[in-house]
Structure 1
């Protein structure tokens, strides 16, 4: 063999598909033959990289790689960002004058920080079926309506079909729910579940082809896109002092409860339940197996490890989260039921940091 670039294409694809995301990008920059093997269709790394994202101002965020311990600054199309479901996307927003609707308000764009692909969302002022929202509040005094919770349909690309679902609030008061589909220039109002009062969503994700929400009354609901109406699936039997998260893990839908101490408000335990939407049942999970959960302020992701992890001390069967009181990252071990400090996370990146899983 004359040189490395003469390696067979199938060998190059096997190598490229198993690299950490940073190495995958560097691999494609070596030469033409390696670049042809380093395309997103071949990327299938067993242990996906995790990054800690923290906004630093001026439309820039820094991403701390847990696989390499390096920092990657990325320009963002907005001043305020938050992660969403699926975890490779973030929501970027900025305040400004929208010439399309001739008014001031929040402008939103869904953005993939790795591929730099962005999806511009319509102004919240462009809304069909306004009767499904609280019109008096929409027209009332106070701040402009804004997106509170958001989820994006899975498998989204810049050219493919997608649906976005959001909850719309004004000054933390719920106005209602809405969806936006690719190819449309407006939002469509969504009706609450029949015979149930409208309530705010704590969690909103896209799971198994549909949008799933968990509200403040511990009710799990799904969206009927055809009727543009929420449907009640089940009411959780627990009401812990803490905060719940919806997360897909190994194909199952989980509710992870971060339970706070009665004494000082720190996290003392995390309990996990698997939810069956079809049967309307739930069952407590004793072990995550080869998976780990990562809880943000208002979202969660999971990672399944098929091989020993090389992510700076991150291990399976743990649940990672941050504590505002000590500005440190912690984890809860499902094996021994103890809360420990995740010391591999730089303390400077804990305050305001959120977990994301960069992917194409």
Structure 2
């Protein structure tokens, strides 16, 4: 790997698409961040990540029995293990200081003047901080504070959202930050308009649904509702998907994900696309994959088939690693 810096980026990308979790993490740790702007995480299967007191643990659906451990250079927060967003970055609060941390690259970014913003309840990034400083951090601090940080200005901007409704999920989508509150209101914040708050619409009520997830999929913004009895995942479990049009302030129910699949975890949901170049043998299109909505001691990977509306329990058991203190979550293996 010492001579990897002399390889063309296109060749490195081809190699990265074929590596197992351990090899990918090692490659990312030694290869410069310049590749981050060119690498497409959707070309390889997502990883599962969990944490112990001192380590990150990575594995994939194809090799669940093989766990790769990487030391954590930053201690987990007291409130858990930090918040994870889909690009693979975590927001961790330590002694009142907010930090961004990437468990794959082990990059740490300290955010100045963040004492009043801890603890963070939800957060999102406009782009990958590994690429450049042209990104914006969006954080939500309960009950009604939103804050935005621009590294180029080195300043926080705060907004108050009323009524004080709990924010269920948030995401960055096509230049805007989008939040969904407990009253099913879609709220947008536009960086080009001084982050003024706009309530776009109300998503239809899905009776019995417990958890909404905002996901970008095939260029569209989806709200995926999870509905289940926590002690049974057969006929009582289902997912409902709505496509949201922010400009028209409208939503329509989607019956199919087409050539894409969605991976749901708390705070880090995303999609992958399938095409002729995709190398995702253990993953199938038009499915919703989840791991952390059911009894954690079962350690099963589940998928929901959008076509026949059935739950499939995959034969792979996630490894039960002594000392882990978090439920496994999906992560996109980005640079």
Contact between 2:137 and 2:148, CA under 8 Å: does it hold in 1? yes
Paired with 1:343 and 1:309, the residues of 2 have a C-alpha distance of 23
Shift of the 22–278 alpha-carbon distance from structure 1 to 2, 3 Å rule, reads same
Q: Which has the larger radius of gyration?
A: 1
TM-score by length of 2: 0.80
Shift of the 83–53 alpha-carbon distance from structure 1 to 2, 3 Å rule, reads farther
TM-score by length of 1: 0.75
Q: Cα distance, 1:175 vs. partner?
A: 4.4
Paired with 2:131 and 2:71, the residues of 1 have a C-alpha distance of 18
Q: Cα distance, 1:79 vs. partner?
A: 0.8
Q: Does 1:232 align with 2:199?
A: yes
Number of the residue aligned with 1:250: 218
Q: Cα distance, 1:278 vs. partner?
A: 0.2
Paired with 1:357 and 1:155, the residues of 2 have a C-alpha distance of 12
Number of the residue aligned with 2:303: 331
Offset from partner CA, 1:148-175 (integer Å, 9 cap, x none)? 0001112433642221111113xxxx14
| Structure 2 unaligned spans of 5+ | none
Paired with 2:106 and 2:131, the residues of 1 have a C-alpha distance of 10
Number of the residue aligned with 1:93: 93
Offset from partner CA, 1:271-305 (integer Å, 9 cap, x none)? 11110000011111111122111111233111112
Number of residue pairs aligned between Structure 1 and Structure 2: 310
Higher relative contact order (CA 8 A, sep 6+): 2
Shift of the 236–40 alpha-carbon distance from structure 1 to 2, 3 Å rule, reads closer
Paired with 2:102 and 2:257, the residues of 1 have a C-alpha distance of 28
**Corresponding residue SS for 1:147:** coil
Paired with 2:139 and 2:76, the residues of 1 have a C-alpha distance of 19
Shift of the 224–155 alpha-carbon distance from structure 1 to 2, 3 Å rule, reads same
Shift of the 21–90 alpha-carbon distance from structure 1 to 2, 3 Å rule, reads farther
Q: Does 1:341 align with 2:309?
A: no
Paired with 1:75 and 1:341, the residues of 2 have a C-alpha distance of 31
Shift of the 22–82 alpha-carbon distance from structure 1 to 2, 3 Å rule, reads farther
Contact between 2:87 and 2:128, CA under 8 Å: does it hold in 1? no
In proportion to residue count, which structure has more strand?
A: 1
Equivalent in 241, 251, 256 of residue 287 of structure 1: 256
Q: Cα distance, 1:15 vs. partner?
A: 4.3
**Corresponding residue SS for 1:202:** strand
Number of the residue aligned with 2:176: 210
